[in-house]
Amino acid sequence: MSQQSEQDKHNIYPMMPGEKEDKIIKPKRDTFLKVSVICSVFLFAISLYQLNIDYSNLWVGTVEFFIMLGRMFPPDFSEWQYIIPAAIESLQVAILGTVIAVVISLALAFLAAENLNNNKLVPRVVKGFATLMRVIPTIIWALIFIVAVGLGPLPGVLAIAVHSLGMLIKVFAQSVEEMDDGKIEALKASGANWIQIIMQGVIPTVFTALLSWTILRLEIDIGESTILGLVGAGGIGWELTRAMRSYDFNSALFITMLIFIMIFSVEMISNRLKLRV
């Protein structure tokens, strides 16, 4: 009874400014975050100073850009019989590379998920492999494979597959690690083996996330397949390079419009597909 009255008294008469409480909870200061922000600002300032950017050239370049943009109109459709097959080839390169990456990533992502493996070494090795594949840009992979297998669409497919592999392993594994561990524990308690846990518990739970990441990667790979054509990996990127080097801006506009239609169509189809799922 006395303890309750003391508590009520404390609630009615709050602590005065001169009084001290035995235990005062102070919020922890995130020193790492502050240091990161300070370092980022410092690096930005140093980069801005050392690059010696001539802002007058930026203004002149902007004016020249709009002049060139005016020269692109109207678009030239006369070479459609060459450009459309090249666009289809770029789309095929992107689809084939993405599918190969998805199939391999699904197998490796389950090994990289820490909540599915008691041995922590295996997930770290797989994630390290994915990081190595991801940090090397797609265009560098394309140049490597061009040296290995020659020009054409094959180095583009391999480059997209390898770089996509690095990203998809990471995001697929994260999707698995974010799921409720209760389902996994329940399946283990019922005697399910590792394959049964994945097929009956993991995939049905994270299927929507896996599909979303796959569609996003396909959209990225369509743009990547266009860029790879600039280095001789085939597709519509090669046609765009040819048009720009010959100052055929009207054909370049048609090619750019076709690239936009390709990426926009895939995005619209993917949105409808995600709504259906």
Determine contact, residues 219/164, Cβ cutoff 8 Å. Answer: no
Separation CA 277–CA 268 (nearest Å): 14
Query: What does the mean pLDDT of the chain come to?
Result: 80
Q: What is this structure's pTM?
A: 0.73
Residue-wise pLDDT for 206-244, tens only, equals: 888 888 888 888 888 888 888 777 776 667 877 888 888
Output the CA angle 158-90-145, nearest 5 degrees.
25
The pLDDT tens digits of the residues spanning 107-131 come to 898 888 888 777 788 888 988 899 9
Here the tokens at position 222 are 């369509």
Going from the C-alpha of 32 to that of each of 29, 37, 41, the distances in angstroms are 9, 9, 14
Residue 46: Cβ-neighbour burial (10 angstroms; 0-12, 13-18, 19+): exposed
Tokens 């370092």 -> residue = 39
- Band the pLDDT of 1: cuts 50, 70, 90: very low
- Mean pLDDT in residue range 253-257: 87
What domains can you pick out in the chain, each with its CATH number? 28-71 (no CATH), 80-276 (1.10.3720.10)
In the numeric block, which tokens belong to residue 168?
A: 């998809």
CA distances from 262 to 109, 190, 220, 222 (A): 29, 48, 12, 8
pLDDT tops 60 at residue 10: no
Contacts of residue 150, Cβ cutoff 8 Å, sequence gap at least 6: none
Place of tokens 């802002």: 55
First to last CA, the chain: 61
In Å, how far from its chain's centre is CA 221?
A: 10
Sign, CA dihedral 69-73-79-85, equals: positive
